[in-house]
Amino acid sequence: MKAGRRILVSIPRQTLELLDEKGRLLRRFPVSTGENGVGEQQGSHQTPRGRHLIRAKIGAGCPLHTVFSGRRPTGEIWTPELAEVFPGRDWILTRILWLSGCEPGFNRLGAVDTMRRYIYIHGTAEGAPLGEPRSHGCIRMGNRDILELFDSTPVYTPVDIVDA
């Protein structure tokens, strides 16, 4: 893992950029953010804006396409057949980077607390659209992309989510 890295999520571009300590682009990934747009309110299913950090990394060593519920592996591995059995399920797959807001009153504490809203960067079902807002507020990534990001970012990596 590399120290000094940071992440920039652009809502308009539907991208996640991994930057080095000098702000140079290391990697750009397509993502899917909140279908309901941006916002910080509990229960809004919107993607929170502002300064965040990775508070916890969940799923190290789990197989690709591991299914998570409540931040725990369910024992399932996502397949198209499993997806047919559970249509409409919000798939949280492969790895979880659990975000915590850094701005009290905006995205931290009370009814706007990103961590209490269970906002993650996580893998999604194969074939799920990326590059357009379709999530329930989280930042969805391709499974191989979240593996790469997970392995190259330590806990407490800063994450900025911007809508301009």
Domains, the chain, in order of start with CATH, read: 6-162 (2.40.440.10)
Residue 48 contacts by C-beta under 8 Å, 6 or more apart in sequence? 38, 39, 40, 99, 101, 107, 112, 114, 117, 119, 137, 161
Helix ranges (H only) for 12-153 are 80-85, 143-152
Q: List, for the chain, all residue ranges whose pLDDT scores fall below the cut of 70.
A: 1-2
Q: Which pLDDT does position 138 carry in this prediction?
A: 98
State residue 119's pLDDT score: 98
**CA atoms within 13 A of residue 127's CA, in its CB half-sphere:** 4
SS3 assignment, position 69: strand
Instruction: Decide: pTM greater than 0.85.
Output: yes
Question: According to the model, what pLDDT value does residue 2 have?
Answer: 66
pLDDT for position 89: 93
